[in-house]
Homo-oligomer: A and B are copies of this chain.
């Protein structure tokens, strides 16, 4: 029927992702978004009738899905837990551009973002925690210990991304990823 989009939905969401994760919700002005996508502001409203909040929600939903497929799915595969965790670390490195990119869950969770947006950050963080807890449990930890290990891993990833952004030093992030299997499988007494 109609005219072809200048930017297919996937590419558009990818550009939006970059803007939101770099600048946060309030920092992602429509002018910046317009510049990053090549679409004028009114055109963005054609794609996202709900405006900026719609864009952020779409980005979070897409990231949630991509996270499930690329990062969490390998955890449910076959092979030793440590093998699967190494696969996950590789996926995480790509997801966060080796530490160069910030995490949406961080930048979109400030109180300036709409409640709907913040709720989605909470949801995605929840599935990440649960996914890691499950594999830690599978590696032999009690449920409580597995939950602690998983939280420590999530904390390490998020913290490493903050350090990478603030200090401009990606080495800690890479080390965290490398240590991920040990973190979630090695028993405490060595």
Contact = CB atoms under 8 A, between A and B. Distances in A.
A139 interface: no
Among A118, A125, A167, A168, residue most surrounded by chain B Cβ atoms (within 10 Å): A167
Nearest to A107: B110
Interface string A119-134: 0011001100100000
Contact of A112 (B23, B122, B163): B23
Is chain A's interface secondary structure helix, strand, loop, or mixed overall?
A: helix
Contacts of A126: 167
Interface residues of A, number: 42
* Nearest 8 Cβ contacts at the A-B interface: A159-B159, A155-B159, A158-B159, A27-B112, A26-B27, A158-B162, A109-B166, A151-B172
22 contacts: A23-B26, A23-B111, A23-B112, A24-B26, A24-B27, A24-B110, A27-B27, A27-B111, A102-B110, A105-B162, A106-B162, A107-B110, A109-B165, A118-B166, A125-B163, A154-B159, A155-B156, A155-B159, A155-B163, A155-B176, A188-B190, A190-B190
Interface of A: 22-24, 26-27, 102-103, 105-107, 109-112, 118, 121-122, 125-126, 129, 148, 151-152, 154-160, 162-163, 165-168, 172, 175-176, 188-190
